[in-house]
């Protein structure tokens, strides 16, 4: 049964306007409505599939986040970018946190956590997908729980908690933020990467922008709305970093959704131009990484 949001998850106001109608280009071909809160500008899918329904929108062998083995160029680019991004992500973790316990929410098959463990972190993960979770535990030897609540008995114990393109997927947005705040050590950091629907490539591709990814992406953030959400839940944003590679991958998928096939030269150009426009037009990159810390009392 579909869920209907009646109050904004960020500002709690209840007046929304229709922002965009977007098709699920990836799987179901169904159309979903993205609404915008008139109070704070936050955008979200409404109505949306409930927690019991959403699983069927992930049921595809092509769902690349869980390690697809396809050999087409887009899939290969994604896997190469993932290998490169693991080291980049760890560089951010190392710069903004100290060694200690680390929790990755939505850890997938555990490659990132496996790398972090080799660098001296004590790692664990959360992953709802059973197949990905089993692989992380068996192949990468990572302790992984199905739900975040499994760690509720460990308040204040994590030096770093990460969510790499996961926050936009969770139904209970504020509850998740509150749980993360409780689990963080007083000087710990929470690092979250999300798509930026204010980016140049989001405007360029419109309803075909791959990072809308409805209904799997329930929320659509900008720098402002992520800052607002952070403040509501006792965090402050200490740094916003670009995720420049995402612009190229998202442009490739968006080209496919818009035109039925990928024009790789166009996708590379539009990805490059999106990154240029991030500073030139103050839009922000296609994806942004937010480094958050608990507000001091």
Summarize pLDDT for 20-35 with one digit per residue, the tens.
999 999 999 999 999 9
Nearest to 43 by CA among 209, 218, 242: 218
In a domain, 178, yes or no: yes
Residue 297 has pLDDT above 90, yes or no: no
In a domain, 131, yes or no: no
In a domain, 22, yes or no: no
Q: Tell me 147's DSSP state.
A: S
Q: Mean pLDDT, to the nearest integer, of 36-56? A: 96
**Could you tell me the residue range of the domain that residue 216 belongs to?**
69-98+152-294
Q: Return the axis-axis angle of helices 111-118 and 73-96, rounded to nearest 10°.
A: 40
Looking up residue 217, the CATH number of its domain turns out to be: 3.40.50
In a domain, 103, yes or no: no
In a domain, 93, yes or no: yes
Q: Residue 287 in contact with residue 184, Cβ under 8 Å? A: no
In a domain, 179, yes or no: yes
Domain count, the chain: 1
In a domain, 273, yes or no: yes
Residue 68 has pLDDT above 50, yes or no: no
pLDDT at 66: 46
3-class secondary structure, 172: coil
Tens of pLDDT, residues 137-170: 998 889 999 999 999 888 999 999 999 999 999 9
Residue 72 has pLDDT above 80, yes or no: no
pLDDT at 65: 53
Strands 2-3 and 48-49, sheet pairing:
antiparallel
Q: First vs last Cα of the chain: how many Å apart?
A: 41
pLDDT at 159: 96
Q: Mean pLDDT, to the nearest integer, of 102-131? A: 94
Q: In terms of pTM, does the model score above 0.85?
A: yes
In a domain, 215, yes or no: yes
């Amino acid at each position: 049964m579909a869920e209907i949001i009646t109050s904004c998850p960020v500002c709690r106001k209840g007046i929304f306007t229709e922002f965009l109608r977007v098709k699920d280009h990836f799987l179901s071909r169904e159309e979903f409505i993205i609404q915008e809160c008139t109070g704070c500008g936050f955008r979200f899918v409404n109505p949306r599939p409930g927690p019991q329904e959403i699983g069927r929108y992930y049921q595809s062998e092509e769902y690349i986040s869980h390690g697809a083995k396809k050999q087409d160029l887009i899939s290969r680019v994604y896997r190469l970018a993932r290998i490169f991004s693991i080291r980049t992500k760890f560089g951010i973790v190392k710069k903004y946190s100290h060694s200690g316990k680390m929790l990755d929410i939505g850890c997938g098959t555990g490659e990132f956590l496996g790398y972090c463990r080799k660098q001296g972190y004590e790692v664990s993960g959360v992953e709802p997908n059973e197949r990905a979770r089993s692989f992380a535990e068996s192949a990468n030897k990572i302790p992984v729980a199905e739900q975040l609540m499994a760690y509720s008995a460990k308040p204040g114990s994590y030096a770093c908690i990460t969510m790499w393109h996961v926050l936009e997927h969770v139904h209970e947005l504020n509850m998740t933020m509150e749980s993360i705040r409780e689990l963080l050590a007083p000087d710990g950091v929470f690092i979250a990467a999300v798509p930026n629907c204010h980016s140049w490539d989001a405007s360029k591709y419109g309803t075909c922008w791959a990072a809308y990814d409805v209904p799997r992406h329930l929320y659509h953030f900008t720098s402002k709305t992520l800052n607002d959400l952070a403040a509501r839940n006792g965090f402050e944003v200490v740094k916003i970093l670009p995720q420049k590679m995402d612009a190229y991958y998202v442009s490739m998928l968006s080209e496919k959704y818009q035109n039925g096939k990928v024009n790789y030269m166009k996708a590379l150009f539009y990805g490059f131009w999106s990154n240029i426009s991030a500073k030139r037009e103050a839009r922000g990159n296609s994806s942004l990484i937010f480094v958050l810390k608990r507000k001091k009392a």
